[in-house]
A and B are shown apart, each in its own frame.
Chain A
Amino acid sequence: MSHKLSEKILLLNYFEKTSDQGTGMTKLNPTSKVLVTILYLVILMSFPKYEILGTAGMVLYPSVLFAVEGISLKRVVKSTGPVIAVLLLFGCVNILIDRTMISAGILGTIPGGIASCITLSLKGTLAVTASFVLVATTKIDEICYGLQRIRVPKVICIQILLMFRYLSVILNEAEAMNEAYHLRAPGQRGINKKAWGSFLGQLLIRSLEKAEIIYESMMLRGFKGEFKTGTRQKMKKNEIAYFLFWLGVFLVLRTFSFAEWIGMVISKV
């Protein structure tokens, strides 16, 4: 499980690095990026369960941004793995139960269960890639700023920032404790039940002691219960245009099966 902890730490570091590159997307107003992501997810999930080609057309958004920003596809594939596994489980149940034949455009007539399984997997993958794109191009404090602009309470945003700040510290601590345990108990899978309480309890006490130190540091710096999160940035014309552009694209993809049209054009050629 030390591997799991290390992976999470590496992923956090990767996001911090990519969101600080200074490229076009990273400079955009976070509110527009958050809104575009939410819009994308809503429209993606609104596709009916047999709509394979329509759903596939939504790959346009993440693929464009992946290409423009140079985001690592390998990391996305790793992140989507567990999600796809769960969705395939649901999909397999659908394949067994839903045997009605449905028309899937240029794909011909296929069992409904297979169609819904494919659509489910596509939706899951694309949803994960959309959130991946957001965090890879936006720093966490900017995401929180964007969330605040869409009326998420300040307390929750500050809670996320504090948690994110100390996540890597606590994860490193947990990894060190985990490694120390397994060096003393080689070949054992997980933490033995006799050590559950003391292992987590120690980690919790250390975490809360850190919280005390953090609080005292904040008090020494004049903290009186209020967090200042910077001045409001107005959305520039290009940022509004960015949002409207993707809104238009998503609406077109929702109403018109772009992937099917391309398929027909290619087959005619």
Chain B
Amino acid sequence: MHMSDALLVPAVGAAMYLCSAVTAHRSISNINLKEDYKRLPMMGVAGAFVFAAQMVNFTIPGTGASGHICGSILLTAILGPYAAFITMIGILMIQALMFADGGILALGCNIWNMAFYGCFLGGFMIWKPMMKHGITKKKIATASILASILTLQLGAFSVVVETTLSGITDLPFIQFAAMMQPIHLVIGLVEGLITGSVLLYLYETKPELLWMDESVSRGSSKKILVIIFSAAIIVSGLFSLLASGNPDGLEWAIERTANGSDLQSVSLFHQILSQMQARTALLADYGVAGSSDQFGTIISGLTGVLLLAAAGAVAGSLIRRFGKKKEYES
């Protein structure tokens, strides 16, 4: 799933770099290497291990084909999500620089598609809740398979979105997604089986190597945020399809007074702004070029929620940082 540079335009590459950079910054602040500096050599060698493991092909039963692991779930289960994310960045960077496996410009996308989903969604949404009340073999196997499938499905979907937004392929969005998702479902299942078997081996030989989050819960505010965010995703992704297609109040009023739903821009300033908007509006009219209205609406809704969540997170982080600085100065 390593994306090449040629599949992206600089704007999309830069946007994904920003997302990955923010996540990397958050991960670095959570690792606390100054107190636990044994972590760094562990991360370095674990990264080299995953790299080597990716070179080893495993027979996929019943298919005659072979495949290799991605490694983000495996690293998360050993190092924890934050350290695993930083390790994956190192792996992907070396692969991009040295082995032409993924491009340098596409590195931000590859980090997001392969590391973010595996380490954070796989780690916090599946591994951690499942292992909360103790680790068992069944839980390890189930968590590995579920997390791998989730990671690869989301990663493949992100590739489709990023490539479509870049305008590289003429393949309609739905057909592209329909090609990518089933293949990556199989790959995810195989990766889950391989990851699960490795973790089970570790559990039997050296169980102390497996990551267990020992941090005390910080209260219900995070839970509330997750619930709100999930609700926003569900509403924007599904309920938006039920939205009325009739014009809103303003458009209705303009239609009746100006004999048309769109007012024409007259002044030069308005025309310049209209041209700028036409260039930047990737999801014009809440749709994706070349795809049906329904899926275009879903994508627009999801994109809007994600962008808002990201903006909120950045704003909250800045406010907290300035607040701390003021507290320190006073």
A199 at the interface (CB under 8 A from B): yes
8 Å CB contacts to B: which residues of A157-200? 158-167, 169-171, 173-174, 178, 188-193, 196-200
Give chain B nearest CB distance to A61 CB in angstroms: 14
Q: Using Cβ atoms and an 8 Å threshold, which residues of chain A touch B58?
A: 190-191, 193, 196
A131 contacts B97, C-beta separation under 8 Å: yes
A127 contacts B104, C-beta separation under 8 Å: yes
Q: In the bound complex, what is the Cα–Cα distance between A169 and B13 (angstroms)?
A: 33
A47-81 vs B, CB cutoff 8 Å, 1 = contact: the mask equals 00100000000000000000000000000000110
Q: Using Cβ atoms and an 8 Å threshold, which residues of chain B touch A38?
A: 104-105
Which of A38, A49, A163 is packed against the most chain B CB atoms within 10 Å?
A: A163
**Interface 9-mer from A8-16, A22-30, A101-109, A240-248:** A8-16
Give chain B nearest CB distance to A145 CB in angstroms: 14
Which of A42, A79, A202 is packed against the most chain B CB atoms within 10 Å?
A: A42
Q: In the bound complex, what is the Cα–Cα distance between A114 and B89 (angstroms)?
A: 35
Which of A128, A130, A188, A198 is packed against the most chain B CB atoms within 10 Å?
A: A128
Q: Using Cβ atoms and an 8 Å threshold, which residues of chain B touch A1?
A: 55-57, 66
B99 contacts A11, C-beta separation under 8 Å: yes
Q: Using Cβ atoms and an 8 Å threshold, which residues of chain B touch A202?
A: 201
**Interface 9-mer from B125-133, B168-176, B241-249, B294-302:** B168-176
8 Å CB contacts to B: which residues of A201-221? 201-205, 207-208, 210-211, 214-215, 218
A191 contacts B86, C-beta separation under 8 Å: no
Q: Using Cβ atoms and an 8 Å threshold, which residues of chain B touch A42?
A: 10, 105
B52 contacts A45, C-beta separation under 8 Å: no
Q: In the bound complex, what is the Cα–Cα distance between A256 and B43 (angstroms)?
A: 47
Q: Given A98-B170, A174-B55, A200-B56, decide whether A79 and B100 contact each other with a Cβ distance below 8 A.
A: yes
Q: In the bound complex, what is the Cα–Cα distance between A192 and B62 (angstroms)?
A: 12
Determine which of A41, A98, A188 lies in contact with B59 in the assembled complex, contact meaning CB atoms within 8 Å.
Answer: A188
Give chain A nearest CB distance to B125 CB in angstroms: 24
B59 contacts A191, C-beta separation under 8 Å: yes
Closest-by-CB residue of A relative to B66 is A190
Q: Given A163-B90, A211-B45, decide whether A8 and B55 contact each other with a Cβ distance below 8 A.
A: yes
B105 contacts A116, C-beta separation under 8 Å: no
Q: Using Cβ atoms and an 8 Å threshold, which residues of chain A touch B66?
A: 1, 189-190
B59 contacts A201, C-beta separation under 8 Å: no
B98-117 vs A, CB cutoff 8 Å, 1 = contact: the mask equals 11110111000000000000
A153 contacts B24, C-beta separation under 8 Å: yes
B177-209 vs A, CB cutoff 8 Å, 1 = contact: the mask equals 000000000000000011011101110011001
Closest-by-CB residue of A relative to B209 is A208
**Interface 9-mer from A85-93, A230-238, A259-267:** A85-93
Determine which of B7, B45, B98 lies in contact with A207 in the assembled complex, contact meaning CB atoms within 8 Å.
Answer: B45
Q: Using Cβ atoms and an 8 Å threshold, which residues of chain B touch A155?
A: 28, 31, 33, 40, 86
Q: In the bound complex, what is the Cα–Cα distance between A5 and B68 (angstroms)?
A: 13
Of the A-B pairs whose beta carbons lie under 8 Å apart in the complex, a sample of 15, sorted by A's number, is: A83-B6, A90-B163, A94-B170, A127-B103, A128-B4, A155-B40, A159-B43, A159-B44, A163-B94, A165-B44, A193-B59, A207-B46, A207-B52, A215-B41, A215-B42
Top 10 nearest A-B pairs by Cβ distance?
A: A162-B44, A197-B197, A201-B201, A225-B37, A190-B59, A211-B45, A123-B6, A124-B6, A127-B5, A207-B49
Instruction: Using CB atoms and an 8 Å cutoff, list the residues of chain B in contact with chain A.
Output: 4-10, 13, 24-25, 28, 31, 33-34, 37-38, 40-49, 51-53, 55-59, 61, 64, 66, 69, 78, 86-87, 89-91, 93-94, 96-101, 103-105, 163, 167-171, 193-194, 196-198, 200-202, 205-206, 209
Instruction: Using CB atoms and an 8 Å cutoff, list the residues of chain A in contact with chain B.
Output: 1, 4-5, 8, 11-12, 15, 37-38, 41-42, 44-46, 49, 79-80, 82-83, 86-87, 90, 93-94, 97-98, 113, 116, 120-121, 123-124, 127-128, 130-132, 134-135, 143, 153, 155-156, 158-167, 169-171, 173-174, 178, 188-193, 196-205, 207-208, 210-211, 214-215, 218, 223-225
A166-B44, A167-B51, A201-B201 known; 7 other A-B pairs, CB under 8 Å? Answer: A94-B171, A120-B168, A127-B5, A131-B103, A156-B24, A188-B59, A205-B205
